[in-house]
Chain A
Amino acid sequence: MATPTGPSKIKWHVVVFLAPAVLVYTAVMIYPLFNTLRLSFFDTVDQQRVFVGLENFRTLFGNTIWSDQFWNALGNNFWFFLVHMLVQNPIGVALAALLSSPRLRFAALYRTAIFVPTILSFVIVGFAWKLILSPIWGIAPEMLDAIGLKFLYAPWLGKEEYALTTLALVSVWQFVGIPMMLIYAALLSIPEEILEAGECDGITGMSAFWKIKLPLILPSIGIISILTFVGNFNAFDLIYAAQGALAGPDFSTDILGTFLYRTFFGFQLQLGDPHMGSAIASAMFVIILIGVCLYLFGIQRRLRHYQY
C-alpha cells in the first residue's frame, strides 16, 4: 500500500490546497498584469482597437511631451525612494534597537504609538498633514513661532523645491513602524548566548550593536530595502490625496503613479488613454522588476546567513 506506483501519480491534496491561492492570485494579480502588458501594444484608431506594436513606447520615450513627464516622474520617484532609504530605514533600525533594550520602560506603549500611523488610511494622513502644514489654519506655523523659529516656516506643500521632500517625510512618518517592527523581531531572535559570549570577549554596549547585532539583522534590512523600493515605485495614494492628480506645484511631486493615473483615467478636460496608460504601467513594471532582480542576484545571494 505504501509503495509509490510511480512518478506520474498526482498528489491531489497539493493541488486542492494550492487552488484557492492560485485562483485568487491569478484573477486579481496575474491576469490584470498580463492584460495590461497586452493593452500597451494597442491603440484606438477610429473607435477600433488596433495592434500598433511598440508605437506607444516610442511615443512615451521619443516624444518630448511624454518623455519629459516620464523622466520627471521617474526622477521624483528616485528622490522619494532615497528619502525613505536615508530617513525611514535608519530611524526604523534605531527605534528597534532602542525598543529591544531590556532597560527601556513602556516599550509596548512606544511600539504601538509608532506603529499606529501605518494602519491609517492615506487619505486621512494626507488630509491631516495638509491641515497641520497649512499656512492658514495649520499648527506648524504657530508651533515654530512659539519656539522663535517662525522664519523657518514656508508653505512647503506649495513650493516646488520643498513639496516632494515634505510629502516623502510625511510618508516616512506614516511607515517608519514597518522597518521598526521587522528589525525589532530580528533583534529579538538573536540568542542571548551570542551576546554573552561577546561580552566575555569585551564587546559591550554600542560595539555589541555594530559588531554582533547589525551583521545578524542585515538580511532583514535587505528585505526592508526591497519592500521600500517596491512600495515607493508603486506609490500614488499620498500624492493624490495631498496634491491631486496634477501633482502640483508644477509637477514637482509627480511620480509614476500619478502620471499613470492621469494618463489612464484622464483628468478634467484630458481624456483617459488606456493604451498609453498601459505603456506607462508596463514601464513601471519593468523598472520594479529590474530593481528587484538587481537586489536578488546582486545583494541577497551574497548576504551571509547565520544559523543559530
Chain B
Amino acid sequence: MFKHTATTLLASTVLATGAFAQDAELIIESWRNDDLAIWQDKIIPAFEAEHPGITLKFTPSAPAEYNAVLNSKLDAGSAGDIITCRPFDASLALYDNGHLADLSDLEGMANFSDVAKSGWSTDDGSATYCVPMASVIHGFIYNKEAFEEVGVEVPKTEAEFFAVLDKIKEDGSYIPMAMGTNDQWEAATMGYNNIGPNYWKGEEGRNALIAGEQKLTDEGWVAPFRQLAKWGPYLGDGFEAQTYPDSQNIFTLGRAAIYPAGSWEISGFNTLVDFEMGAFYPPVPNAGDTCYISDHTDIGIGMNAATAHPEAAKAFLNWVASPEFATIFANALPGFFPLSSGAVELEDPLAQEFLSWREECESTIRSTYQILSRGTPNLENDTWNASAAVIKGTETPEDAAKRLQEGLASWYAPQQ
C-alpha cells in the first residue's frame, strides 16, 4: 500500500516535471503596435489552444524606434524569445552578430519560395533566419463616393492620373491627394517606391542597379522623381508640415479623394471610414505598358539565439509557417499578404483587390532595401530626404537623382 503510494507520488512528480518543462512563456518583440488587439484576440488564443504549456506575450514598441530598441535589448540580453524581423540588412546584421538563430532546418520553411525567403536569407542563400510572414503591396486607395461626385474614373495611365487630380482640384470639394512631407518616409515609400517600378521595370531595373549596370541618374530612376515633382500642388495647404497621421485622418474623414497607400492601411481604414473605398495600382506611363507593383517582403519572424525555450519557440515558428496561421493572419489583418505558396482566400474586398494585382502585374520589392542601404550615406534615408525635397520643389528631380547616385557610388563598388 505504502509502496504503491510512493510509486504514484513518484510518477506524478515525473509527470509534473514533464509538464513544467513544457511550460514556457515566449515573449514576442514587434514594431506592429497597431496589431496588438489582433494578436491578443485571435492569433495568440488560436496558438495556445493547440499548444498547451506554451504561452505567448506580444510586446510591441513604436515602429520608428523598433530597430534601435531591439538592438539595445539584444546587446543587453533582455530581448524577447521571438523577434519580428525587418527585411534585409537590419535582420542580416542581427544574424551575423549571433542574435538570430539559423532556421534553415525548420520543417515549415518548405512552404515558402526562394523569393519569399530572400528578405531573410544570407546573400548566398545558404541560411534563412526568419520565417517569412507577410508582404505589403503599394498602390493608391481612393474614395469611391468622391470619384462619383466629381465624375472621374480610375486612371490607368500617368496622363489620366493627372487629369483626375486636376478635375478633383477644380471641383474643390476634396483635397485631391492626402500626403504630407513632414515625416519624409511617405514621400519615399508611398511616393518614389510606389510609382517607381513602372519606370525602372521592377525586378529588371532593381537587379541592374545592384549589379551596377544602371545608375540612379538613368531615365528609369529619374522619371519617378519627375512625376513626384508634379504632386505638390495636389497635396493640400500646408502639406510641408502635414504628418503621416494627419494624412490618414484627412483621408478617413472623407476630406481627400486619393491616398497614396501601402496595403497595411486597409485594416485601420476599414474601421474608420463611412464611405466605400477602392484601390488602383500605380498608373503606367503609356496605355498598354506592363504594370509593376511593389509587393514588398515586410515582416518575418525569427528566434532569439539566446532564448531559454528554443523548442517552444520552434514549435511556434512552425505554426507561423503553416497555412493555418496564414489564413488567420491574412484575414485578421487584411493588407498583410501571406508569403506562403498556398492560396489564401480573403474576405475583405479591398485587400482582395490589392492581392489580385499579383496576377495582373509584375511584382518587385522596394529598390533601396536589398544590399544598397548597407553603407554610409544610407540610400534609404537619403531617398526619404530626396523624395520629400522633390515634392516640395526645393530640389529638382535631376539634382536629387544625382545626389543619390553620388552617395551610393561613394561606397558601393559595382556603382563606382
Chain B nearest CB from A153 CB (Å) reads: 8
Closest 7 CB pairs of A and B: A135-B238, A158-B240, A158-B241, A155-B241, A265-B68, A155-B238, A269-B380
Q: Are B368 and A269 in contact (CB under 8 A)?
A: yes
| Chain B neighbourhood of A245, CB < 8 A | 64
Decide yes or no: A157 and B97 within 8 Å by CB, A269-B373, A270-B381 being known contacts.
Answer: no
Chain B nearest CB from A302 CB (Å) reads: 45
Chain B nearest CB from A48 CB (Å) reads: 12
B89 located at the interface, meaning its Cβ lies under 8 Å from any Cβ of chain A in the complex: yes
| Chain A neighbourhood of B184, CB < 8 A | 244, 246, 248-249
B378 located at the interface, meaning its Cβ lies under 8 Å from any Cβ of chain A in the complex: yes
A47 to B93 alpha-carbon distance, docked (Å)? 10
| Chain B neighbourhood of A272, CB < 8 A | 67-68, 71
SS of B interface (majority): helix
A234 located at the interface, meaning its Cβ lies under 8 Å from any Cβ of chain B in the complex: no
Q: Are B240 and A159 in contact (CB under 8 A)?
A: yes
A156 located at the interface, meaning its Cβ lies under 8 Å from any Cβ of chain B in the complex: yes
A244 to B89 alpha-carbon distance, docked (Å)? 22
Decide yes or no: A133 and B373 within 8 Å by CB, A246-B184, A249-B181, A249-B388 being known contacts.
Answer: no
Q: Are B369 and A269 in contact (CB under 8 A)?
A: yes
A137 located at the interface, meaning its Cβ lies under 8 Å from any Cβ of chain B in the complex: yes
Q: Are A271 and B388 in contact (CB under 8 A)?
A: no
A86 located at the interface, meaning its Cβ lies under 8 Å from any Cβ of chain B in the complex: no
Residues 229-253 of chain A: 1 if any B CB is under 8 Å from the residue's CB, otherwise 0? Answer: 0000000000000011110111100
A269 to B185 alpha-carbon distance, docked (Å)? 12
| Chain B neighbourhood of A271, CB < 8 A | 67, 89-90, 93
| Chain A neighbourhood of B238, CB < 8 A | 134-136, 141, 154-155, 158
A83 to B410 alpha-carbon distance, docked (Å)? 37
| Chain A neighbourhood of B246, CB < 8 A | 134, 136-137
| Chain B neighbourhood of A269, CB < 8 A | 88-90, 368-369, 373, 378-381
Beyond known contacts A137-B246, A246-B381, A268-B384: 16 more, CB 8 A cutoff: A47-B97, A65-B407, A134-B238, A136-B249, A155-B238, A157-B182, A158-B240, A246-B385, A249-B181, A249-B392, A261-B68, A265-B67, A268-B185, A269-B369, A269-B373, A269-B380
**Which among B97, B373, B389 is the interface contact of A250 at CB below 8 angstroms?**
B389
Question: Which of B97, B182, B410 has the most chain A CB within a 10 Å cutoff?
Answer: B182
Residues 162-191 of chain B: 1 if any A CB is under 8 Å from the residue's CB, otherwise 0? Answer: 000000000000000000111111000000
A267 located at the interface, meaning its Cβ lies under 8 Å from any Cβ of chain B in the complex: yes
A272 to B378 alpha-carbon distance, docked (Å)? 11
A245 to B184 alpha-carbon distance, docked (Å)? 11
| Chain B neighbourhood of A156, CB < 8 A | 241
Residues 213-243 of chain B: 1 if any A CB is under 8 Å from the residue's CB, otherwise 0? Answer: 0000000000000000000000011111111
Residues 256-297 of chain A: 1 if any B CB is under 8 Å from the residue's CB, otherwise 0? Answer: 000001000111111110000000000000000000000000
6 pairs, A vs B, C-beta closer than 8 Å: A136-B242, A249-B184, A265-B67, A268-B381, A269-B89, A272-B67
| Chain A neighbourhood of B67, CB < 8 A | 265-268, 271-272
| Chain A neighbourhood of B250, CB < 8 A | 136
| Chain B neighbourhood of A47, CB < 8 A | 96-97
B78 located at the interface, meaning its Cβ lies under 8 Å from any Cβ of chain A in the complex: no
B17 located at the interface, meaning its Cβ lies under 8 Å from any Cβ of chain A in the complex: no
B376 located at the interface, meaning its Cβ lies under 8 Å from any Cβ of chain A in the complex: yes
| Chain B neighbourhood of A270, CB < 8 A | 373, 376, 378, 380-381
Q: Are B242 and A265 in contact (CB under 8 A)?
A: no
B377 located at the interface, meaning its Cβ lies under 8 Å from any Cβ of chain A in the complex: yes
A199 located at the interface, meaning its Cβ lies under 8 Å from any Cβ of chain B in the complex: no
Q: Are B385 and A130 in contact (CB under 8 A)?
A: no
Decide yes or no: A250 and B394 within 8 Å by CB, A65-B376, A155-B240 being known contacts.
Answer: yes
Q: Are A133 and B241 in contact (CB under 8 A)?
A: yes
Q: Are A158 and B369 in contact (CB under 8 A)?
A: no
| Chain B neighbourhood of A136, CB < 8 A | 236, 238, 242, 246, 249-250
**Which among A249, A265, A267 is the interface contact of B381 at CB below 8 angstroms?**
A267
Q: Are B410 and A65 in contact (CB under 8 A)?
A: yes
A145 located at the interface, meaning its Cβ lies under 8 Å from any Cβ of chain B in the complex: no
B72 located at the interface, meaning its Cβ lies under 8 Å from any Cβ of chain A in the complex: yes
A160 located at the interface, meaning its Cβ lies under 8 Å from any Cβ of chain B in the complex: yes
